[in-house]
A = this chain, B = another copy of it.
Amino acid sequence: MAMMNPCTVYLFHGQGGVCFNMTQMDQISELNTEDFTVAVEPGVTRKTLNNFLRGSGLWFPVDPGADASLCGMAATAASGTNAVRYGTMRQNVLNLRVVLPDGKVLHTAGQNRRPRKSAAGYHLTGLFVGSEGTLGIITQATLRLHGIPEATVAAVCAFSTVKAAVDTVSLFSFSIPEFLDDVMMGACNRYSGLNYPELPTLFLEFHGSEHSVGEQVQATGEIVKSNGGSDFAWAREQEARNQLWTARHNAWEERNPTTDTRQRVAMCASLSPRKLHPTFLLQGYSTDVCVPISRLPEILLETKKDMLESKLTGPIVGHVGDGNFHCLLIHNPADEGGRVAEFAKRLGRRALAMDGTCTGEHGVGLGKRQLLREEVGEVALSTMRQIKAALDPKNLMNPGKVL
């Protein structure tokens, strides 16, 4: 296996496991600015790549919030705020170099291949994207880059109800809409010293040419108005945009490396009406369902009701253009962990009952194996298991996960 940098191997004697630290495999190679392609090793994060691309006019837009490893993002089919416009990792990985369980090196689309489309045999790239390390170890990803838009405009508007906010989103065809509920807006106000109305709020971003962005902003403003939204605060320059989006950034660590999980928990906890626990005992648990967009208002309302009845605290943030949202449940695992787990399971089943998925972008891991079975059914699960058994007959790769 050709490796540019070593990876460190850790042995877990207790459970018989082995863990690979690949942060030092950090080569960025094969940048082609004409074809909008680049190859990255597992140690390369999305911010590192975008810094590397500075000045080229290109960027990699998939943004799951954290400054994650791009190969890890491929392994988990990550997406985030920009997916509604640029696609998830599924649409932005052209090729993967994978070490298979038998030690052979697989290039999912063939070595060095990077055409924008192909119909050559089974779509192995698509199979390995989202396989969560259970089929092999990704040691390089060839990615599709995008042109940095000529103009970007950010906008914020509040609504009196969740339904009004979310119904509005389905009328947009171009913006990148993010939803923050009243609870999250309250948390952001207290944590960041802001003064937003504590109402269901849409944060929007528009990308395009100068003209088309202006047109998008105008059309969206009209839709917002006719759906009872507040006046439309908008910003064009990077700094003003950052200021406007401060709440959204802080809400989910996005683009703000200083807001670590502990701080986010503290931020969300700051609004808890139940000051039962010292902050240091609290943890955050994020849900991740995704439903067809028409079902979003219904599931958001039912979920907020359930949260209230379950006596849980959890602001809601959503990539609502894709029908995907997260509740960040702030809880003390010692005495609320059980209730959180039950709530999350009910939420997963609620999404399944609405033709949705229990995981839009976080993956299955250990926690959602039962929900996966309910979501895809026995035949699909058994098909996945046949593939796993065929490619990893000794069950060496991330055993026990997903299936």
Contacts and interface: CB of A to CB of B under 8 A. Distances in A.
A57 to B, nearest CB: 11
A121 B215 contact: no
10 contacts: A34-B293, A77-B118, A91-B91, A107-B376, A118-B290, A119-B364, A120-B358, A121-B381, A123-B127, A386-B391
Contact of A123 (B110, B119, B129, B322): B129
Interface residues of A, number: 87
A151 to B, nearest CB: 12
Contact of A126 (B119, B127, B380): B127
Given A90-B117, A121-B375, A121-B380, 15 more contacts: A35-B293, A106-B383, A107-B376, A111-B377, A113-B356, A115-B292, A115-B356, A117-B324, A119-B361, A120-B364, A121-B384, A121-B402, A124-B383, A383-B391, A387-B391
A250 interface: no
A76 interface: yes
A58 to B, nearest CB: 12
Nearest to A89: B119
A247 to B, nearest CB: 24
Nearest to A127: B127
A21 interface: no
A88 interface: yes
Most buried by B among A356, A360, A383, A386: A383
A66 interface: no
